[in-house]
Structure 1
Amino acid sequence: MSELVIETAGSVRTLLLNRPAKLNAFTAALHADLRAALADAIADDGVKVIVLTGEGRAFSSGQDLTEDLPRDAQGGVDLGPALERDYNPLIKQITTSPKPTIAALNGPAVGAAMNIALACDIVLAARSATLQEAFAKIALIPDAGGTWLLPRLIGPKRALALMLTAEPVTAEQGLAMGLVYKLYEDASFRADVAAFAAKLASGPGLAYRMMREAVLASAGNDLDAQLALEAQLQRRAGASHDFAEGVAAFLAKRPPQFQGR
């Protein structure tokens, strides 16, 4: 069976990590398949929302440490090229996606997998899920954007504490910290995620794209620059078909039929 299962339901594309015997640990081959599937989902006009989740009892345990470690010309371990080839492009692909991305944590998200999940726009978690910056356990630093993402989400001191201690965060704790948006019971998790994603996919795709653009730009903008960007994007939103439809639907007291334009 494929190590990445691709499912489409309506306007929702689900990418399912499918190495349950290895807790969906990442290999170079799985990375390549996932990046290709993300590119296809982003390019497909019929896809409005992308969901990333795992098969079995884990979202992902992170890097598959049974793979041969990359080495330099002198035979020493060199992890840099693998990050540059696999993890860094994946994180950039997720964070710059014009379509909303959802990480659906069906179980533990460990190491780089935690940071891949945090790179997504929304994190949904089953009650049994955990998140763990486990790098210190093997004397590494958090990668896959973890040292950039986590401090911005929960503050530098708490982020550093999670990195230094490598302690797991329960789904409930993640919800309280703001790492997780919604928590669902394990038994209904798949159905709840599908319903959430379908509802999101029915929303205004053009406005979604501009929201993501604005939030991404805010990391490097001062207030004046961000206010100017908001005005620019709002002019585009106000001239859109979706805005006219949203107002018409509001006045007619009916659900809007957005077209993403």
Structure 2
Amino acid sequence: MNALTPDQRNHLIHLLEDASADADTRAVVLTATGRGFCAGADLRAGPPPGDRVPGDVARVIRNGAQRLIAAVLDCEKPVIAAVNGTAAGLGAHLAYACDLILAAESARFIEVFVRRGLVPDGGGAYLLPRLIGPQRAKELMFFGDALTAADAHRFGLVNRVVPDGELEKTARAWAERLAAGPTRSLALTKQLVNASLDSDRATAFTAEAAAQEINMTTADAGEGVAAFVQRRGPEFKGR
């Protein structure tokens, strides 16, 4: 079910960091093979409770699950989650951190922590209330019930639900549209939207003006304006 080991988690972080730095990478799709998208962190990978000292767990979470979620949120390219099956615990939060979420009809989202007597980690208590409000977030986290793809769409957690056989095709089509877009503009837009959730109006307006100032120095912005004036479609290069 694609439970994440520390090595796999670190590999994902490095891939996302590489995507940010690579000008030729213009969109990212995060998906999985098999029956599950991600069953969360592999709990067998850590030391047994008796071998821990105070501070160990917090350090592991900061350097592990939280760092992974931050890598998705901070990635300078648009990230699509194509959720092919069960997304539980950290796996659900990994999907929620993405910019766009496609879900197969068979997908399920589970805040599994309460079933293990654990507190939600991996950014869940930060992400969920911002996506669906505190009352629904607490309902999911308190009960740990499986949320179907259709209900996740109704709650506003996913952008679209598609038949299982069309998930890869739809994700590729969305990624191709994003990859043909103005990459730096999309990166700045992502930063503005994410930051706005923790900003007051004055701060958000200042950030917006600064982002537009920076964006106007890009070749794609020049191409977009020229295409408008010349009444033709723009050809963005991601620069």
TM-score computed with the length of structure 2 as normaliser: 0.92
The 1-side partners of 2:43 and 2:52 are apart by: 21
Determine which of 106, 116, 121 is the counterpart of 2:99.
121
Which structure 2 residues correspond to residues 1-261 of structure 1 after superposition, within 5 A? Answer: 23-71=1-49, 79-261=57-239
RMSD: 2.0
The 2-side partners of 1:159 and 1:74 are apart by: 30
> What SS does structure 1 have at the residue aligned with 2:94?
helix
The 2-side partners of 1:233 and 1:125 are apart by: 31
The 2-side partners of 1:170 and 1:80 are apart by: 31
Q: Which moved more, 1:59-68 or 1:106-115?
A: 59-68
Query: Shift of residue 85 of structure 1?
Result: 2.5
Give deviations 1:87-127, integer Å, cap 9, x for gaps. 11111111111111111101110011101111111111111
Query: Shift of residue 176 of structure 1?
Result: 1.4
The 2-side partners of 1:28 and 1:34 are apart by: 10
Q: Structure 2: give runs of 5+ residues left out of the alignment.
A: none
Give deviations 1:227-249, integer Å, cap 9, x for gaps. 12212222233343222322333
Distance change in 2, residues 1:228/1:75 (3 Å): closer
The 2-side partners of 1:169 and 1:56 are apart by: 19
The 2-side partners of 1:237 and 1:40 are apart by: 22
Give deviations 1:136-160, integer Å, cap 9, x for gaps. 1110011100000000110001100
What letter matches 1:169 in structure 2? L
Query: Shift of residue 208 of structure 1?
Result: 0.8
Q: Structure 1: give runs of 5+ residues left out of the alignment.
A: 1-22
Query: Shift of residue 42 of structure 1?
Result: 2.1
Report the counterpart of residue 13 of structure 1 in structure 2: none
Q: Retained in 2: the 8 A contact 1:242–1:259?
A: yes
Query: Shift of residue 77 of structure 1?
Result: 11
Q: Retained in 2: the 8 A contact 1:70–1:77?
A: no
Q: Retained in 2: the 8 A contact 1:249–1:255?
A: yes
The 2-side partners of 1:36 and 1:239 are apart by: 28
The 1-side partners of 2:55 and 2:212 are apart by: 50
Q: Which structure shows the bigger proportion of residues in helix conformation?
A: 2
The 2-side partners of 1:173 and 1:73 are apart by: 41
What letter matches 1:40 in structure 2? D
> What SS does structure 1 have at the residue aligned with 2:109?
strand
Q: Retained in 2: the 8 A contact 1:49–1:99?
A: yes
Q: Give % identity.
A: 38
Higher relative contact order (CA 8 A, sep 6+): 2
Distance change in 2, residues 1:260/1:74 (3 Å): closer
> What SS does structure 2 have at the residue aligned with 1:66?
helix
Q: Retained in 2: the 8 A contact 1:175–1:182?
A: yes
Query: Shift of residue 255 of structure 1?
Result: 2.9
What letter matches 1:170 in structure 2? T
The 1-side partners of 2:98 and 2:207 are apart by: 22
Q: Which moved more, 1:136-145 or 1:212-221?
A: 212-221
TM-score computed with the length of structure 1 as normaliser: 0.85
What letter matches 1:29 in structure 2? D
Distance change in 2, residues 1:74/1:188 (3 Å): closer
Query: Shift of residue 168 of structure 1?
Result: 1.2
